[in-house]
Amino acid sequence: MSAPAIRATDVTIRYGRKEAVTGITLEIPTGAVYALLGRNGAGKSSLVRAILGQLKPDTGSVELFGLDVWKERATLMERIGVVSEDADAPPEMRVGELGRFCAGLYLRWHQSMFDARLERFGLAAKTRFADLSKGQKKQVSLALALATAPELVILDDPTLGLDVVARKSLFEEVISDMAERGITVLITTHDLASIEAIADRIGVLQKGKLVLDEEVETLKARFRRIRFTSQPAALSSANLVAAQVRQWGNGTEAVVTNYDDFAFARFRDEAHVTAEVQPMSLEDIFLAVAGEPEGVQP
């Protein structure tokens, strides 16, 4: 059995007295699209830096393809493509020059892939990097990353600065294409609506802790929004766990994290309540898990 593309074991990262990442353990299998979600300051960037070998954890370890990233970083970087949150390059260098520079660094450089991606993005090779918009700089960074024929691509908030058309292209064309080719993708993003249809698995960070880590379909199957026309009996009587409860008109709305059709039908019949059950989007689930708590559990 092959090693996972990414394995983090009990990773803790501190900045002085502040703990940015606390005891995170996760595995991302080869070929998966994994979305790492969290509010600003949740620890996403710190964890990504540790995964890339740019930051040594205070405790724990990170392996890529079974190799310790801190010890084997030079070897592993040949197999990884990275698009950072803030794309950067010498401002006077032209886009084509950036490609030629990277060609000398990577053994698996594919110039034709780089040129094709620039053409797809509508970017001229003679354009200075300083003259590109923030979104265009991200596109150049993506073209450089994919031209190395990577086995793993890490995208740190890649849609920041992209317009609607460019975001749609990134998710529907670029990431989908990588998934079809068996490339492992780790992406941090706030664009939950777009990643929902593409990601195989979701991880949610909250205050440095991994509070969710599961397949998208499994996650969506167990979360439901239930709207009662009046105050319901305790959901706990049916072993249903409410993550969030709030007033809804004259009634009550509850977000249930372990929904089961049979258990809820029995609860509804026994408690004699009228209720509407609604599925939840990934964004709804994220807000229920990582947003500000509302109300108390019934």
- Check: CB of residue 187 under 8 Å from CB of residue 36: yes
Rounded CA-CA distance 190/50 in Å is 20
Rounded CA-CA distance 151/182 in Å is 8
The dihedral built from the CA positions of residue 52, 106, 89 and 74, taken in this order, carries a sign that is positive
pLDDT, tens digit, 9 for 90 and up, residues 182-205: 899 999 988 898 899 889 999 999
Which residue type occupies 27?
E
- 143-153 burial, b at 16+ Cβ within 10 Å, e below that, comes to bbbbbbbbbbb
Mean pLDDT of 250-258: 84
Q: What domains does the chain contain, in order, with CATH numbers?
A: 6-218 (3.40.50.300), 223-290 (3.30.70.260)
Rounded CA-CA distance 225/259 in Å is 9
Does the pLDDT at position 152 exceed 90?
Answer: yes
Between 37 and 232, whose confidence is greater? 37
Distances (CA, A) of 38 to 35, 131, 266, 283: 10, 32, 35, 11
Report helix, strand or coil for 198: coil
Band of the pLDDT at 42, cuts 50, 70, 90?
very high
Band of the pLDDT at 296, cuts 50, 70, 90?
very low
- Check: CB of residue 260 under 8 Å from CB of residue 228: no
Rounded CA-CA distance 179/244 in Å is 34
pTM of the model: 0.89
Band of the pLDDT at 238, cuts 50, 70, 90?
low
- Name the token pair of 38: 């969290």
Rounded CA-CA distance 139/170 in Å is 9
Mean pLDDT of 101-124: 92
- Name the token pair of 86: 């803030």
Band of the pLDDT at 294, cuts 50, 70, 90?
very low
Report helix, strand or coil for 7: strand
CA-only gyration radius of the chain, Å: 22
Of 126, 129, 133, nearest to 90 by C-alpha is: 129
Report helix, strand or coil for 191: coil
- Check: CB of residue 145 under 8 Å from CB of residue 83: yes
Mean pLDDT, rounded, of the chain? 88
Contacts of the segment 73-80: beta carbons below 8 A, 24+ positions apart:
77/53, 78/106, 78/107, 78/108, 78/148, 79/150, 79/151, 79/152, 80/52, 80/150, 80/151, 80/152, 80/153, 80/154
Distances (CA, A) of 30 to 34, 49, 106, 184, 203: 10, 19, 22, 6, 16
- Check: CB of residue 146 under 8 Å from CB of residue 89: no
Considering the chain, what percentage of its residues have pLDDT values greater than 90?
57
Residue 64's DSSP bridge partners are 6, 67
